Amino acid sequence: MELISVLVAALGGFAVGAVWYMTLSKPWMAAAGIECDENGKPKGGGSPLPFVVSAICMILVSGMMRHMFAMAGIDGAGQGLVAGLGVGLFFIAPWIAMNYAFAMRPRNLPIIDGGYAVLGSGLIGLILGAM
């Protein structure tokens, strides 16, 4: 059951990322400095590698969150949601902001990427807590 919950949570985190970045694709690409072709698509895009890496990372994050939840006695959808939001808001988003600050990246980039970290982690926590 644990493996299934980790995989379902990872799929949920991946899916919310797909919606998040489809919705915010233009401001994200501008802030990330990604060059686009005449159709508005990233130049040189089309590689499956980012999607493979994302899937692996979502499984790793979901697996570690499941482990942390078991160790902390987090049980139930509400507790999972709050813990997941906390992971995103107080672990992942600050780390993203710190890295982007040193890289002198535009202010919108850590807001967009950090927002996804919070929502994605929250959904992963909700799913793990519910299962």
Look up residue 76 and give its amino acid.
G
How open is the CA angle 32-14-56, to the nearest 5 degrees? 90
Q: pLDDT at position 66, please?
A: 97
pLDDT per residue of the chain (131 residues) written in tens, 0 to 9: 799 999 999 999 999 999 999 999 999 999 999 988 888 788 877 789 999 999 999 999 999 999 999 999 999 999 999 999 999 999 999 999 999 999 999 999 999 999 999 999 999 999 999 99
The C-alpha atoms of residue 84 and residue 27 are separated, in whole angstroms, by 26
Structure tokens at 106: 């535009």
d(CA 86, CA 126): 12
61: its two tokens: 């994050």
